[in-house]
Amino acid sequence: MLKKFSLAIVLFIIWLLLSGHFEPLLIWLGIASCILVVLIAHRMDLVDHEGHPIHLGWRAITYVPWLSWEIIKANIDVARIILDPKLPISPVLFRTPASQRTELGQVIYANSITLTPGTVSVATAHQIIDVHALTEGAAQEVESQHMDKRAAKMEGHMEEADADTVRGTA
């Protein structure tokens, strides 16, 4: 029920921002259309944890700024490589483990790798991601597993593992 309610709220906020109409009749029609869309999505069984991942909301608040900073740093590195007359690239294709438990978590991690300039996720399968990197430095950054740990923490996986370690069950 919470997912359907939050989906209706998100749809209405998007509708309100895009329409810019604040007349009472149009607001009620917007609310009605958002409710209708949620009912249709529910009937089609489309409202799930992957389609509307509200459970990641609070952890994403810290992940998105961190990922944005990583993207900025990688942009600067790629710009330096492009502007260097020697063009010091050393392409690498490698596999890296993905410690996320769900497909959604692995997709978030693979997309984070691809969003970071200089690296591209080529394929994912069985908690392994094939990555192409422009330089060995970019490959080492991915292989350091820092981004993997941040994506797993956003998914909630690392918090559970940390709690097991504290209880002595790990």
Terminal CA-CA length for the chain? 34
List, in sequence order, every beta strand (DSSP E) within 69-159.
92-97, 119-125, 128-133
Task: Express each pLDDT in 69-94 by its tens digit.
Answer: 999 999 999 999 999 888 899 999 99
pLDDT of 170 strictly over 80: no
- Fill in the amino acid letter for 17: L
Show Cβ contacts of residue 55 under 8 Å, excluding neighbours closer than 6 positions: 49, 156
At 167, is the pLDDT very low, low, confident or very high (cuts 50, 70, 90)? Answer: very low
pTM for the structure as a whole: 0.70
Under DSSP, the state recorded for 101 is S
Q: What pLDDT is stored for residue 165 in this prediction?
A: 40
Question: Angle at the Cα of 112 (from 3 to 48), degrees rounded to 5?
Answer: 15
At 161, is the pLDDT very low, low, confident or very high (cuts 50, 70, 90)? Answer: very low
User: 128-133 and 119-125: which strand pairing?
Assistant: antiparallel
Quick one: which of 39, 37, 29, 48 has its CA closest to 11? 37
Task: Express each pLDDT in 98-155 by its tens digit.
Answer: 999 888 889 999 999 999 999 999 999 889 999 999 999 999 999 999 999 999 998 8
Task: Express each pLDDT in 8-59 by its tens digit.
Answer: 888 999 999 999 889 999 999 999 999 999 999 889 888 776 666 666 777 8
